[in-house]
Amino acid sequence: MPARATDGRRAAVLGSPIAHSLSPVLHRAAYDALGLTGWSYERFEVDEAGLPGFFEGLGPEWAGLSLTMPLKRAVITLVDEISETAASVDAVNTVVFTEDGRRVGDNTDIPGMVAALREHGIEQVDSAAILGAGATASSALAALARICTGDVVAYVRSAERAAEMRQWGERLGVEVRTADWGDAAQALHAPLVIATTPAGTTDALATSVPERPATLFDVLYDPWPTSLAARWSMFGGAVVSGLDLLVHQAVLQVEQMTGHTPAPLDAMRRAGEKALADR
């Protein structure tokens, strides 16, 4: 049951560090477009140790929370239930406070990835490659479980990371093969490449972009474009950005927290683009 779409409601994003978060920009743009004049959306610097105390201080005016690192797993013990999507990757990025006082955890990153790809015309692929093996890579695998009919190759830096990705594949029902990061240039020939690594990690791969690249989904959005994304676009390949992901997952959060569907995707994207341009 969604939160009541009434005035005087509060929502926020929590994490550490949090100052860089674009979530307030996106959610406030949605409230403006929806006419929710009494709604507010803030950001709070909260780490794992401080999360239980933050929850204890929440009153009935709260509609929902967005969670970023390092709280996506820590919050699981503080909610009453989590969705199957969140349970599939042991990560909650959304908590909705229902009318009857329950705290419901969900993960909008996974359907947000699927929606971002669909917006760029990617409904299904027969294989894919993932660059990286962190928390975002597991969400990427969960998204690929919905749209990829064949195997996924994950390019990683260690045997430990390789084992983790294969385990996630088994859990999510995706056939995952792993390869050494030193061979990551081979990933760029896949029908869909999802780059989940920190800023700068894929820069050296830019010179290896093939003449006719397919689709790159780079989860970064600041700085943008990455060297890899810029080269990919120059060669005529399709590029899905981290801002695409951020906006689509935020759209789902707004819909769950406010009860208003559909959320104003275009207004939220414009606000995000302006905020990035102003930085």
DSSP 76: G
Assess contact for 222 and 20: CB atoms under 8 A: yes
Q: Which of 102, 247, 79 is nearest to 91 (CA)?
A: 79
DSSP 237: -
Between CA 28 and CA 54 the distance in angstroms is: 22
For residue 228, give the 3-state DSSP assignment. helix
What amino acid positions are annotated as catalytic residues? 72
Q: Which residues contact 77 (CB under 8 A, 6 or more apart)?
A: none
Between CA 185 and CA 181 the distance in angstroms is: 9
| One-letter amino acid of 90 | D
Assess contact for 70 and 45: CB atoms under 8 A: no
Assess contact for 202 and 216: CB atoms under 8 A: no
Assess contact for 34 and 264: CB atoms under 8 A: yes
Distance between first and last Cα of the chain: 37
Cis-peptide into 262, omega within 30 deg: yes
> At how many degrees (to 10) do helices 135-147 and 109-119 cross?
60
For residue 278, give the 3-state DSSP assignment. helix
Q: Which of 112, 39, 103, 36 is nearest to 65 (CA)?
A: 103
For residue 202, give the 3-state DSSP assignment. coil
